[in-house]
Structure 1
């Protein structure tokens, strides 16, 4: 018998190795006799019995140990058989419940705020009843007494905040807020919780999280406003503000709950059941709902229920099941999975619910793209969270002692990852093969009720070493590293000076000058070219002609006759001619776009399509690979640029019949030519050993020749008479003139000077500075052009969805640039 019992103990230990988090969790769900597990000879562990039963300690030779080990082995085997399809089925069930809750809420809560609040009340009451029944089933009357102990009062402030959040949301639904708007604004929970947890839990954030949170916030708010405009929602902003209030209360409540339960479980030997924790919050929530109903002047609860229909009953049931399942999903699955399900829920609510089922206005292309941007922003946030988590763990992890392999470890690796405690400080490699510690042999219910978006830093860790900070001036990397290393071998003293504090400040000044002239070029072109009788191609012709003169002067001054011969080398000019022709055509189409009444802001935003186009072409031509994050950022960039174009034509984002107007086509052609020229010039610039000003002349000679040819081509092919320089046009006061420089005055000279300076600075920045600095400067130009050019100079009415979309464009470009830089560093 002793040998038989020893074999049973070995079987039990093997089962615990295969399902270590589930092992202890199963104890609470077993019959009373099986909940008493065998312990070592010098130690006994027992778990409270169900009502009416006695607790029996297992000892060698007893039948209880045999029964316990047999049941536990079966439980471990069943848990190990949980396949990927079963996990997907659980996710699908939660997705169905989460999206259905918004559908039913809109129908059940819309008629009356009192009815809406009564739904919240009976949801809390039903949830309390179910949770108390579960506590009684697993822990008996002692569990009920513990549920209503002094710990109940610690949950009062948090429960009141939860109840106020539900009340604000119900009031927003009663005002007519659509399901898609409510789900979209629910995404604000993440940036709010991130901001508060940064102060409350000292959590670290990386560059990707910060960018994604800002992108998610702007996209959600834009979606909310446009959706209200499309459906003609009266008081839409008022209803949306109540959803924001609900998110603020919910954010504070979740973080306070997380803080309470982490302190509670710090010194406890036995973890609490989730149902006991949920019962406390729902009890206070029910009492708070009663207070809110009294404030609204509601009659007795019985009279309110008499006004109910089948929708209110269904809504209560759906909300109870969804709230319980959401807690279980958050506690037992990863935060990434939770965010993905919420994003899918948002898409399901908008595409199938708001438009198809509820019929609340027809969705347009702009809203579809914004909904997708919200989902991608949330997913990008989770990617950044994982990067920060891995970085902190790699710096803070301690060497762990591996043990010998178990036979079926690969079969339960997914379950180990799914059931790992997100509040634990174990590193990622803790999911690999090793012994089960005593801390891990606890039920997953020891996790906090509210999930943590980030793992908190331990008191011994220094927060300053994990959060992104502005580097010292002398450590900032602005220049291209490849060029810097090549220059170091030629002139080490110059590299030492340019890398010093003074040199970095001069580089920053150069970037500031580039930003100034880049935005000035767009503004002056918008102000002085549109509506003038000039020949649009004359600006390109004069620009490249003046650029050649400037380049030749610099070459002669710097290198004398040798520099002049190198700048006018026909071999180099012919080698650069294809690139020069593309640059010239790009400038031509840009000027023609301004002549076709395209605004500077619209030209700048559509021009951001340069990045995804160059990525596609470079992958095909050069075989370059881009990371998943870079493609994600490029997708958001294309979507946001398209939304901006649509909002320029219609405040509601409606798609016009002539969206591809002549001016937009000119901008697209300019982007294509510029992208092709940039990729071809990359090889020429990097392969040549000449100075920048010599290479600039080699390129500008070919561009000048192409601009001369385009003077005739544009005049012949264009339907506008002012594009043909040989045709007369009215230059003012009824005076008719013709010529290449007809209509030129001091304003056009200012355009020429600014364009020339911007062209040279852009070439220098592209050759010497890094991609991150160049893209950052371009986005500063974008913001200056919109807020200074369109709003101040052109006196356009500020429409904040347009402004937030412009910021999203800048953020997506920044994510793309930083993602590429991070991959190079790795």
Structure 2
């Protein structure tokens, strides 16, 4: 799609499509710039107001020859633009990371010295920018720099200066690099929110989720790293850092508006160094006012107190400020914020470990660092997805877009069905026409795709954030089962696919999540430390499940249902799966009896999610997209970090991580995953009702649990596992038996476990095991807020809360990440 020619500039469309470096070269010698166009179209291009025509301009031949040389040079540089942008990315990442360490040492503890560093940074930056303007435009360029345009930059420059002053004051109050970088993460969501309003930028669901994930992960990482290595910053200093981020966010977005000149009418682009000189000049004047407010002596007396650290700090800040302006001009403020988010990893691992010699931390920190990197990558992936979506909409013929009430199917926005191999497209974007005022110039970039596409008034722009589909269009049920049921009872299928039916399905998933978390809570509260036979819970659970299933079968289908439920052929066919279920329950109860906490059981159990995804690819032939695997990875990491933070505020790995109890948990996960996949295959392949299939499975599980009563008692070294051995049940009373030590608490455990088991089977039959396991991650939130904070009276720790939000975001990303038109 070619850009729309701009008559005010008069350049060919191909020149606008050049990368940033080529555009910069073409805009440098503005004294020699003339309007160039093909010979047969020169007369049709209007001249800028107040300027002479191209034919009448003196020395036009020399100007055209100069433009030809510059065009050839720009074409050669276009081939290296990607590498140049990568080099710019790496250099800015290194400088931005180094600035925090130099600031902490150079600005602390005197606020006057800290502010003087800001003043001389602005003065040196002004000098360098003016020299660059004089080099390319001569004295005419210097005069244009101090034109009336200077006052247009005053509000933005004052905001920049106030941001630097607040940051310098925070450093002088003792705020460390860790706290500064941590609070710097707030810059990213603020800039995305304001740019949405200021620039009408279109952010898709993936970018918004990635920005939130980056923010919460960065905050948690920085706080946890500070706890591990003993860094701290006072609340007063931290508040000044927040003020600095607010001022910086507003200033960067206003500066981006000026740098890119996309919303202003100019006859030719302006040099970046001229724009930067205006900002820094006002910034220097504002710094002088701040120094006078602080009661500072003359600048010469201040410099006499300087050392080599202050000189280095000024140099680093000047270069970092210039590169940040280039990134804002040619990328975007939000893209720069994502790059700065990655600098946090450099600050902690390169700075703390290599320069300061501090410890590397623990496994929890490594997982958080990986989550930050994956979040930045997820944002980049979403940015490219939004670009492709906008381009695909813009390339559609006008006659195909007359009906604005229509909903367009967009690839990869959300999974329409639970089956990843389904080919039904997703729906979710409302198309809207743009006016001529919204047709913006291109923003070419390799690392952060275009946020300003060249659009004509007749083309479409998805300028609103994609919304969730209407409730009646959400389909959670398995499509194969739905089609089979449609042939038997079309009225039921119509109802279950209606708005009320979808809400009931969501309610069932919510109830399942509640009982799954309740099972973890009651097991942790009532089983650990009791004299019961651990296998008795599994034995009673499957026995009660058979009774419930038979009652439902008789009530629903009479004797035919009873015969189908007790069919020995179906029982034998389901026996391997039933045995795996029984062994999984046995190992889980044995893990709790071996003093494994509910949180530790949950963190190891997070291996269930990727393992179920791998097995579903082998058993069902399901293919998952790269974004889905990315979301699964982030979900597993965030759930593990969440649980590790329960036992230790620093996220230390428990000492008994490789104990016998953990081995029981690992065996339980493997057995449960294999059994869930195979049972899902059996249930979806069979034509019987769910309650009949459940009895077929539970008969085999009950038989296995009876056998395990003897096996566990013989092989276990704990006397509590042998039901024929007597044990103290309280008050010196010795008893033996299968149900020894049972009371009302164990009956509650049995009821909750039974309900969770039935709901898990129903969800697996109608949805998929992977979606069920993703929903189960939400039970971590209930376990924490209800079990730990309310029942166990633990103090709320905000890093745990932010990690809980990351879990919810990861579940949403996985749920809507699949490509609906993926081939089987």
TM superposition score normalised by structure 2: 0.84
Question: Contact 2:21–2:77 (CA<8 Å) still a contact in 1?
Answer: no
Question: Contact 1:393–1:428 (CA<8 Å) still a contact in 2?
Answer: no
Q: CA 1:590/1:814 → structure 2, altered by over 3 Å: closer, same or farther?
A: farther
Task: After TM superposition, give the deviation of residue 235 of structure 1 in Å.
Answer: 3.3
Task: After TM superposition, give the deviation of residue 433 of structure 1 in Å.
Answer: 26
- Looking at structure 1, the residues matched to 545 and 424 of structure 2 have their Cα atoms a distance apart, in angstroms, of 61
Q: How many residues align?
A: 817
Task: After TM superposition, give the deviation of residue 451 of structure 1 in Å.
Answer: 11
Deviates most, 448-457 or 328-337: 448-457
Q: CA 1:412/1:341 → structure 2, altered by over 3 Å: closer, same or farther?
A: farther
Q: CA 1:146/1:417 → structure 2, altered by over 3 Å: closer, same or farther?
A: farther
- Looking at structure 1, the residues matched to 602 and 263 of structure 2 have their Cα atoms a distance apart, in angstroms, of 55
Question: Contact 1:223–1:370 (CA<8 Å) still a contact in 2?
Answer: yes
Q: CA 1:688/1:454 → structure 2, altered by over 3 Å: closer, same or farther?
A: farther
Question: Contact 2:217–2:806 (CA<8 Å) still a contact in 1?
Answer: yes
Q: What secondary structure sits across from 1:270 in the alignment? A: coil
Task: After TM superposition, give the deviation of residue 776 of structure 1 in Å.
Answer: 6.5
Deviates most, 490-499 or 460-469: 460-469
Structure 1, residues 651-689: CA drift from partner, whole Å, max 9, x if none? 222334433334433333222211111122232222222
Task: After TM superposition, give the deviation of residue 386 of structure 1 in Å.
Answer: 2.6
Question: Contact 1:114–1:293 (CA<8 Å) still a contact in 2?
Answer: yes
Q: CA 1:171/1:666 → structure 2, altered by over 3 Å: closer, same or farther?
A: farther
Q: CA 1:160/1:336 → structure 2, altered by over 3 Å: closer, same or farther?
A: closer
- Looking at structure 1, the residues matched to 798 and 298 of structure 2 have their Cα atoms a distance apart, in angstroms, of 45
Deviates most, 339-348 or 590-599: 339-348
Deviates most, 650-659 or 271-280: 650-659
- Looking at structure 2, the residues matched to 419 and 573 of structure 1 have their Cα atoms a distance apart, in angstroms, of 31
Structure 1, residues 51-82: CA drift from partner, whole Å, max 9, x if none? 99999977799752674355235424532452
Structure 1, residues 365-391: CA drift from partner, whole Å, max 9, x if none? 322322222222122122223323332
- Looking at structure 2, the residues matched to 522 and 407 of structure 1 have their Cα atoms a distance apart, in angstroms, of 47
* One of 103, 117, 120 as aligned partner of 1:119: 117
Q: CA 1:752/1:735 → structure 2, altered by over 3 Å: closer, same or farther?
A: same
Deviates most, 248-257 or 69-78: 69-78
- Looking at structure 1, the residues matched to 91 and 588 of structure 2 have their Cα atoms a distance apart, in angstroms, of 52
Deviates most, 521-530 or 732-741: 521-530
Task: After TM superposition, give the deviation of residue 206 of structure 1 in Å.
Answer: 2.9
Deviates most, 338-347 or 23-32: 23-32
Does 2:574 match 1:579?
no
Question: Contact 2:17–2:442 (CA<8 Å) still a contact in 1?
Answer: no
Structure 1, residues 410-440: CA drift from partner, whole Å, max 9, x if none? 9999999999999999999999999999999
Question: Contact 2:419–2:479 (CA<8 Å) still a contact in 1?
Answer: no
Task: After TM superposition, give the deviation of residue 41 of structure 1 in Å.
Answer: 7.1
- Looking at structure 2, the residues matched to 298 and 547 of structure 1 have their Cα atoms a distance apart, in angstroms, of 80
Q: What secondary structure sits across from 1:363 in the alignment? A: coil
- Looking at structure 2, the residues matched to 83 and 492 of structure 1 have their Cα atoms a distance apart, in angstroms, of 59
Question: Contact 2:9–2:35 (CA<8 Å) still a contact in 1?
Answer: no
- Looking at structure 2, the residues matched to 436 and 211 of structure 1 have their Cα atoms a distance apart, in angstroms, of 26
Deviates most, 754-763 or 32-41: 32-41
Aligned twin of 2:34: 36
- Looking at structure 1, the residues matched to 300 and 709 of structure 2 have their Cα atoms a distance apart, in angstroms, of 84
Question: Contact 2:600–2:644 (CA<8 Å) still a contact in 1?
Answer: no
Question: Contact 1:219–1:805 (CA<8 Å) still a contact in 2?
Answer: yes
Q: CA 1:25/1:435 → structure 2, altered by over 3 Å: closer, same or farther?
A: farther
Question: Contact 1:568–1:697 (CA<8 Å) still a contact in 2?
Answer: yes
- Looking at structure 1, the residues matched to 447 and 129 of structure 2 have their Cα atoms a distance apart, in angstroms, of 14
Question: Contact 1:419–1:444 (CA<8 Å) still a contact in 2?
Answer: no
- Looking at structure 2, the residues matched to 41 and 680 of structure 1 have their Cα atoms a distance apart, in angstroms, of 73
Deviates most, 563-572 or 425-434: 425-434
Q: CA 1:641/1:70 → structure 2, altered by over 3 Å: closer, same or farther?
A: closer
Question: Contact 2:163–2:243 (CA<8 Å) still a contact in 1?
Answer: yes
Task: After TM superposition, give the deviation of residue 143 of structure 1 in Å.
Answer: 3.1
Question: Contact 1:220–1:374 (CA<8 Å) still a contact in 2?
Answer: yes
Task: After TM superposition, give the deviation of residue 704 of structure 1 in Å.
Answer: 0.9
Task: After TM superposition, give the deviation of residue 495 of structure 1 in Å.
Answer: 0.9
Task: After TM superposition, give the deviation of residue 787 of structure 1 in Å.
Answer: 0.5
Question: Contact 2:440–2:452 (CA<8 Å) still a contact in 1?
Answer: no
- Looking at structure 2, the residues matched to 243 and 94 of structure 1 have their Cα atoms a distance apart, in angstroms, of 21
* One of 280, 286, 290 as aligned partner of 1:292: 290
Task: After TM superposition, give the deviation of residue 394 of structure 1 in Å.
Answer: 2.7
Structure 1, residues 619-646: CA drift from partner, whole Å, max 9, x if none? 4565543322122222223322332343
Task: After TM superposition, give the deviation of residue 545 of structure 1 in Å.
Answer: 0.6
- Looking at structure 1, the residues matched to 752 and 415 of structure 2 have their Cα atoms a distance apart, in angstroms, of 58
Q: CA 1:257/1:823 → structure 2, altered by over 3 Å: closer, same or farther?
A: farther
- Looking at structure 1, the residues matched to 181 and 414 of structure 2 have their Cα atoms a distance apart, in angstroms, of 31
Structure 1, residues 388-418: CA drift from partner, whole Å, max 9, x if none? 3332443344659999999999999999999
- Looking at structure 1, the residues matched to 297 and 150 of structure 2 have their Cα atoms a distance apart, in angstroms, of 29
Task: After TM superposition, give the deviation of residue 98 of structure 1 in Å.
Answer: 2.9
- Looking at structure 2, the residues matched to 414 and 736 of structure 1 have their Cα atoms a distance apart, in angstroms, of 63
- Looking at structure 2, the residues matched to 497 and 425 of structure 1 have their Cα atoms a distance apart, in angstroms, of 23
Q: CA 1:310/1:823 → structure 2, altered by over 3 Å: closer, same or farther?
A: farther
Deviates most, 71-80 or 517-526: 71-80
Structure 1, residues 696-717: CA drift from partner, whole Å, max 9, x if none? 1111111111111221222233
Question: Contact 2:374–2:634 (CA<8 Å) still a contact in 1?
Answer: yes
Question: Contact 1:22–1:76 (CA<8 Å) still a contact in 2?
Answer: no
Q: CA 1:121/1:488 → structure 2, altered by over 3 Å: closer, same or farther?
A: same
Alignment of 1:561-580 (within 5 A): 561-580=559-578
- Looking at structure 2, the residues matched to 636 and 687 of structure 1 have their Cα atoms a distance apart, in angstroms, of 32
- Looking at structure 1, the residues matched to 401 and 506 of structure 2 have their Cα atoms a distance apart, in angstroms, of 54
Task: After TM superposition, give the deviation of residue 793 of structure 1 in Å.
Answer: 0.9
Q: CA 1:139/1:287 → structure 2, altered by over 3 Å: closer, same or farther?
A: same
- Looking at structure 2, the residues matched to 415 and 735 of structure 1 have their Cα atoms a distance apart, in angstroms, of 63
- Looking at structure 2, the residues matched to 723 and 355 of structure 1 have their Cα atoms a distance apart, in angstroms, of 48
Alignment of 1:128-527 (within 5 A): 128-259=126-257, 265-332=263-330, 341-342=339-340, 344-397=342-395, 466-527=464-525
Deviates most, 793-802 or 406-415: 406-415
- Looking at structure 2, the residues matched to 359 and 26 of structure 1 have their Cα atoms a distance apart, in angstroms, of 42
- Looking at structure 2, the residues matched to 722 and 250 of structure 1 have their Cα atoms a distance apart, in angstroms, of 64
TM superposition score normalised by structure 1: 0.84
Deviates most, 550-559 or 192-201: 192-201
Task: After TM superposition, give the deviation of residue 790 of structure 1 in Å.
Answer: 1.0
- Looking at structure 2, the residues matched to 285 and 415 of structure 1 have their Cα atoms a distance apart, in angstroms, of 44
Question: Contact 1:19–1:80 (CA<8 Å) still a contact in 2?
Answer: no
- Looking at structure 2, the residues matched to 163 and 607 of structure 1 have their Cα atoms a distance apart, in angstroms, of 51
- Looking at structure 2, the residues matched to 14 and 463 of structure 1 have their Cα atoms a distance apart, in angstroms, of 24
Structure 2: runs of 5 or more not aligned:
1-7
- Looking at structure 2, the residues matched to 194 and 40 of structure 1 have their Cα atoms a distance apart, in angstroms, of 41
- Looking at structure 2, the residues matched to 419 and 580 of structure 1 have their Cα atoms a distance apart, in angstroms, of 28
Task: After TM superposition, give the deviation of residue 744 of structure 1 in Å.
Answer: 0.9
Question: Contact 1:114–1:296 (CA<8 Å) still a contact in 2?
Answer: yes
Q: CA RMSD in A?
A: 7.5
Q: CA 1:171/1:657 → structure 2, altered by over 3 Å: closer, same or farther?
A: farther
- Looking at structure 2, the residues matched to 407 and 781 of structure 1 have their Cα atoms a distance apart, in angstroms, of 39
Task: After TM superposition, give the deviation of residue 475 of structure 1 in Å.
Answer: 3.1
Structure 1, residues 106-159: CA drift from partner, whole Å, max 9, x if none? 332334332222222111111112222222333344433333333333322222
Question: Contact 1:609–1:671 (CA<8 Å) still a contact in 2?
Answer: yes
Q: CA 1:121/1:666 → structure 2, altered by over 3 Å: closer, same or farther?
A: farther
Structure 1, residues 550-603: CA drift from partner, whole Å, max 9, x if none? 112222222233322222222222221121111111112222233233343443
- Looking at structure 2, the residues matched to 260 and 425 of structure 1 have their Cα atoms a distance apart, in angstroms, of 46
Question: Contact 1:401–1:434 (CA<8 Å) still a contact in 2?
Answer: no
Q: CA 1:683/1:549 → structure 2, altered by over 3 Å: closer, same or farther?
A: same
- Looking at structure 2, the residues matched to 188 and 307 of structure 1 have their Cα atoms a distance apart, in angstroms, of 34
Question: Contact 1:33–1:64 (CA<8 Å) still a contact in 2?
Answer: no
Task: After TM superposition, give the deviation of residue 738 of structure 1 in Å.
Answer: 0.8
Structure 1, residues 220-275: CA drift from partner, whole Å, max 9, x if none? 22122212222323435554443333222211222233445677743222222212
Q: CA 1:396/1:411 → structure 2, altered by over 3 Å: closer, same or farther?
A: closer
- Looking at structure 2, the residues matched to 679 and 216 of structure 1 have their Cα atoms a distance apart, in angstroms, of 33
Q: What secondary structure sits across from 1:823 in the alignment? A: coil
Task: After TM superposition, give the deviation of residue 810 of structure 1 in Å.
Answer: 3.1
Q: What secondary structure sits across from 2:438 in the alignment? A: coil
- Looking at structure 1, the residues matched to 66 and 199 of structure 2 have their Cα atoms a distance apart, in angstroms, of 41
Question: Contact 1:20–1:440 (CA<8 Å) still a contact in 2?
Answer: no
Structure 1: runs of 5 or more not aligned:
1-9
